[in-house]
Structure 1
């Protein structure tokens, strides 16, 4: 029997309801199981990260202009205007021309998100892009560890000892940005789902 995520689950994790929660819950239930994100423990990690990245499920587009990403070759931003054009979108805030291109390739239309980056603000693609990221990085492996387990994660050129929630946070964000809030949302998600 599939574990079902409800709008009420999302509201409990975020601390209040938002307009997009119903549609997000629908797409989470339609999309996540196809990526083997289907247990309360996996959802607790997945939704904690999504809650942080979307400002408590309030936005599917990052608030910043994206100008800070201009010229970032590591993100594939090689054309003038790429920073703002390919700023963070979706429930995990997909960022950069290279990542938008990769998602188009996955959909069989290389330029789909290059030509229409705002598609990642639609709940269907917002959830799908996060599932692609999660599955491609095998984050269920970390999510299914006990919270007390110590994992190894390399970032900043150094291998660190980290908890599963820290491992997943670094994988999604590239560092420990917002780690205290991510941990708080994870604790809430566990209390709601498990």
Structure 2
């Protein structure tokens, strides 16, 4: 039997109530199990990250303009305006032309998100894009490690020891941005879901 995530769960994790919670819970329940994100432990990690990236489930679009991503070839932003056009969207804040293109290819419509990047602000695609990212990075395996485990993670050219929540946070964000809040969200999600 699949685990069900409710808007009340999201509210308890975030510490607030937002209009996005009911549609997000609906799509989380429809999409996450198809990506084998289906245990309370996996959901705790997944939702802790989503809570941080969406400012406590308040937005599916990055607040910043995206200008900082201009000329970021590592994100595939090679054309003028790409940084703004392909700024972070979705519950994991998918960023950059290359990532938007890859998502379109996975949907079977190569330019789907290139032509209409705002689609990633719709709850269905916001959740789906995060599930794709989660699966391609093998994060279920990490989520199922005991919290006390230390895992090896390459970061800035060095192999470091990190906890599962740190490993997942660095994988999703590329660094330690918001790490304390991500850990707090994870602790709240564990209390609520397990």
* TM-score, length basis structure 1: 1.00
Residue equivalent to 2:146: 146
| Cα separation, 2, equivalents of 1:79 and 1:108 | 24
| Cα separation, 1, equivalents of 2:73 and 2:39 | 37
* More divergent stretch after superposition (153-162 vs 181-190): 153-162
| Cα separation, 2, equivalents of 1:139 and 1:101 | 22
1:50-81 Cα offsets, whole Å, 9 max, x none, are 00000000000000000000000000000000
Give secondary structure in 1 for the equivalent of 2:89. Answer: coil
Residue equivalent to 1:131: 131
Alignment of 1:19-168 (within 5 A): 19-168=19-168
Cα offset for 1:192? 0.2
Give secondary structure in 1 for the equivalent of 2:79. Answer: coil
Query: What is the aligned residue count?
Result: 194
| Cα separation, 2, equivalents of 1:68 and 1:141 | 33
| Cα separation, 1, equivalents of 2:22 and 2:104 | 26
Cα offset for 1:16? 1.0
Residue equivalent to 2:182: 182
Cα offset for 1:155? 1.4
Residue equivalent to 2:14: 14
Instruction: State the Cα RMSD in Å.
Output: 0.3
Unmatched 5+ stretches in structure 2? none
Cα offset for 1:186? 0.1
- Moved >6 Å (runs of 4+): none
Cα offset for 1:48? 0.1
